[in-house]
Amino acid sequence: MKFENKVIWIAGASSGIGESLVYEFINEGAIVIASAPFKEKLQDVRKNCGEKKEFCHVLHLDMEHQEDFPGLVNTVVASYKKIDILLHVAGISQRALTVDTSMKTTRKIMEINFFGAVALTHAVLPVMISQGFGQIAVITSISGKFGFPLRSTYSASKHALHGYFESLQAELLEKNIYITLVVPGRVHTAISYNALTADGTPWGKMDDGLAGGISTEKAAKKILSAIQKRKKEVLIGGKELFMVYIKKFFPWLFWKMVSRINPT
């Protein structure tokens, strides 16, 4: 088993890609710490592990309550003695025009998607440096590669993750600590249901694009493979990923295509 006896901490494990990652890692022999703000959902995830549920441990974590992170890290280390891999999956999306989006909503998205990941990394990093090894995997988005209508702050938060963790990887080259940036395109999750509108209320419906996306199970398998191979970056999804390359090599075509995008 590829991750036998590895201690894997997943922030954002109660649904979607994070939930599927729990099952994949458990099946590969890992000890998984499943974290999210939703205690009941986490318990359901643990129950779904079946006979292997003893290897899934639930730890309540809210990305907006960053003052709790040092204590949570101490709890994990006291129980498991190490943290092999930290996965940042938690996040929230947006469905609103920039001009309409309140600053309160803007700050909430940045707090969860960017500052939460930074704060948890900052709390875990000394542990990994002390133990002499570790890996951090970060779920970003193709919206972190280019801007997208109705997602200005979401896109900004994902761009920020790329800048932060690429810089961190450069600093850790001699520390035996690896960063893997995971860049999903369309994955069939409930992220659009919980996406924030201009006033911070949920969007409450499934986007057509996401409905046709790859399954979370398929995404999770590809993520495990990328982590095992210590890839610095991996794109996951379908034909929408071609937009990343079109933006890079044919910017004139990218902007032409953007004008025709259906953002939902």
Catalytically active residues are 154
Token readout for 200 is 């911070």
Closest to 213 measured CA to CA, from 13, 25, 17? 17
Torsion of CA 145, 151, 152, 158, to 10 degrees: -40
- Which SS3 state, helix, strand or coil, does residue 140 take? coil
Token pair in block for residue 130: 């002390």
CB neighbour list of residue 208: distance below 8 Å, 6 or more residues apart: 262, 264
> How many Å apart are CA 172 and CA 198, to the nearest integer?
38
What one-letter code names the amino acid at 145?
A: K
What DSSP state is assigned to residue 98?
G
